[in-house]
Amino acid sequence: MSTFTLFKKDISIALFSVLFLILIGFFVEHPWPKDFLISIFSFGLLAMSLNMLIGFAGMVSFGHAAFFALGGYAFGLLLQSESFLTNFGALSIIVAFFVSIFITGIYSAVIGAICVRLNEIYFAFLTLAFQMFLYSVIVSWVSLTGGDQGLMGGIARPVFLGIDLSNSLHRYIFCSVIFVICILLLRILNKSNFGYSLRLIRDNQERAEFLGIRVFRVKLICFVIASMVASVGGIIMTLFTSGAYPEWAFWTQSGEAIFMIMLGGISIFLGPLVGTVLLRLINDVVQMYSSHTELVTGIIIMIVVLGLRKGLVEYLLEKTGILKK
């Protein structure tokens, strides 16, 4: 059976979602929803890809934002390079997009080869250590990265195939399409044999080995794919802010992604995405009235974690009987 037939429903939902998002772009004149959704696309991909590690494979990574930052920095640096722009001309954005994902893939394969051999707390702390290593490189290598001031001077966005990414509508539609493709990819992986292998490894690694699954290889592939998806989130944020900043590679960014997963729910595919929307909304709304955003966010997360003992989506689905306890 072809992939299309197997995932017909998911592909249809994805097509409908793209159409819906594009319609929002065309018919909602106010720029706020587009800006808000672009930030959701970006951080949503970070949280969803992290949940591929945590929810699918049981690998709790504390350093996932490193790949988000690496994607953003690689993309930004390539588009700031005069020689790169001269060589690739109108195709610069597309080439930079794929090269940045590729660079992140290579980097994560090296890091992953070291980290995925370990389990639980050792894996978590080693990923955190590698994230802080990247952060230190970004902050110290001032001549390349701009240090703690981030990439300065803006990022060139040459027009390609009639798409002008300096135009807010074009940028929004471009990001929408990329976002939905990435989510669809994660969904297909989740529902495929690969996804089942990951869940088996998560639940009983020894049994998976006895059944002939090459645990190390499967976990490494999962780690690399999740990192590459996170890098797409970074690329979207770089396009949006026209810069890249070391804070993206700081451990708190990974912590925020974990909060998003906790808020939405670890066991529901779109739970982290709902968590992303909730966290961004809480942050944005509270910030309009007070500077105590962390306090409010902390209280809400405490209520969800201690009160509900599960993500909000999981709780609601259980309450409505859709999800069995």
Partner 1 sequence: MKNYKNKIKRRSFIKVAGLGMATTALTGFPNILKAANKPIKVGVTTILSGRVAILGQTVLSGMKVAVDEINNAGGIDGRKIEVISRDSKAKPDEAARLTRELVNNEGCEVLLNCEASGATFAVNEVARDIKKFCIHCISETSSLTADPKNRVPWVFRAARQGIHDAVGGGIFASEIAKKNNLKKFATAAPDYAYGRANTAEFMEYLKLFSPGINVTTQTWPKIFQPDYTENITALLNAKPDALYTCLWGGDLVAFIDQASLYGLFDQFQSFAVNLGDLPILTAIKKIPKDVYGGARYHKDIPDTQANEDWYNKYMAGSDVLPTNWSWEADTGMRFLIDALKKTGGDTDPMKLAKVTAGNKIKSPFGVDGTMTIRGEDHTLVNYVIAYGKTITKDPYLANIQQSNWKDIYVHEKDWKKRKKYI
The smaller minimum CB distance to partner 1, of residues 186 and 237, is found at: 237
25 touches partner 1 by CB under 8 A: no
CB of residue 79 to partner 1, shortest distance in Å: 13
Q: What is the largest CA-CA distance in the chain?
A: 58
Distance CA 297, CA 303 (A): 10
Q: Tokens in use for 315?
A: 């709780």
163 touches partner 1 by CB under 8 A: no
Contact stretch for partner 1 (CB under 8 A) within 32-40, 53-61, 110-118, 298-306: 32-40
Rg (CA), the chain: 20
Report the SS3 class of residue 157.
coil
137 touches partner 1 by CB under 8 A: no
CB of residue 273 to partner 1, shortest distance in Å: 19
Distance CA 260, CA 264 (A): 6
Q: Which residues pair with 45 in a beta bridge?
A: none
149 touches partner 1 by CB under 8 A: yes
CB of residue 253 to partner 1, shortest distance in Å: 9
Q: Tokens in use for 85?
A: 């722009």
Among 108, 176, 241, 297, binds partner 1 (CB under 8 A): 241
81 touches partner 1 by CB under 8 A: no
Contact stretch for partner 1 (CB under 8 A) within 11-19, 48-56, 116-124, 140-148: 140-148
Q: From the centroid of its chain, how far is CA 54?
A: 13
Contact stretch for partner 1 (CB under 8 A) within 57-65, 207-215, 260-268, 285-293: 285-293
Tell me which residue has tokens 């009235």. Answer: 289
30 touches partner 1 by CB under 8 A: yes
97 touches partner 1 by CB under 8 A: no
Distance CA 264, CA 315 (A): 9
Distance CA 33, CA 39 (A): 10
Contact stretch for partner 1 (CB under 8 A) within 98-106, 138-146, 189-197, 215-223: 138-146
39 touches partner 1 by CB under 8 A: yes
Q: How far apart are the first and last CA of the chain?
A: 33
To 5 degrees, how large is the angle CA 171–CA 80–CA 153?
A: 85
75 touches partner 1 by CB under 8 A: no
272 touches partner 1 by CB under 8 A: no
CB of residue 277 to partner 1, shortest distance in Å: 15
284 touches partner 1 by CB under 8 A: yes
* Pair 195, 189: CB distance under 8 Å: yes
316 touches partner 1 by CB under 8 A: no
CB of residue 281 to partner 1, shortest distance in Å: 12
Residues 6+ apart with CB under 8 A from 319: none
The per-residue DSSP string of 252-284 comes to HHHHHHHHHHHHH-SSSTTHHHHHHHHHHHHHH
The smaller minimum CB distance to partner 1, of residues 146 and 275, is found at: 146
Q: Which residues pair with 28 in a beta bridge?
A: none
Among 153, 181, 207, 303, binds partner 1 (CB under 8 A): 153
The smaller minimum CB distance to partner 1, of residues 28 and 114, is found at: 28
The smaller minimum CB distance to partner 1, of residues 138 and 189, is found at: 138
DSSP-assigned letter for residue 29: -
Distance CA 315, CA 309 (A): 9
Q: Interface with partner 1 by CB under 8 A: which residues?
A: 30-32, 35, 39, 139, 142, 146-150, 152-154, 166, 237, 241-243, 245, 247-248, 284, 287, 291-292
